[in-house]
């Protein structure tokens, strides 16, 4: 029995072969973070950057920064679950 492959699977393989996988991952990680965070937290997150396994979030609220720092591992797992792979290895909160 052959495994089921989606168009996304083939696109990701092609992007990785062209060394564009990191660019695609960056866009996907930011999109998923904003979906998981919701409208309010997204508005309080002026900067979302992903590079080489590290997601850096700049938050405009000290209270939110503290809360997100405590929940960063849970957030990392949820993002990776959405991506279907271990893409985000660590999260930095600023």
Which tens digits make up the pLDDT trace of 4-22?
Answer: 778 777 776 776 666 555 6
pTM (2 decimals)? Answer: 0.76
Instruction: Write the CA distances from 78 to 52, 82, 93, integer angstroms.
Output: 18, 6, 16
Q: Considering only residues 17 and 26, tell me which one the structure prediction assigns the higher pLDDT.
A: 26
Residue 34 φ/ψ, nearest 5 degrees:
-65, -35
Residue ranges of E strands in the chain: 47-51, 54-58, 90-93
* Cβ atoms within 10 Å, residue 50: 22
| Pairwise CA distance, residues 52 & 35, whole Å | 21
Give kind and range of the element (H or E) at residue 5.
none
Q: pLDDT tens digit string along 63-84? A: 999 999 999 999 999 999 998 8
């Amino acid at each position: 029995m052959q495994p089921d492959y989606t168009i996304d699977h083939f696109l990701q393989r092609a992007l990785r072969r062209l060394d564009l996988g990191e660019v695609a991952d960056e866009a996907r990680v930011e999109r998923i973070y904003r979906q998981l965070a919701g409208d309010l937290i997204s508005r309080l997150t002026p900067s979302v950057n992903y590079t080489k396994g590290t997601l850096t979030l700049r938050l405009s609220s000290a209270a939110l920064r503290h809360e997100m720092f405590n929940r960063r591992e849970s957030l990392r797992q949820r993002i990776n679950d959405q991506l279907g792979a271990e893409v985000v290895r660590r999260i930095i909160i600023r």
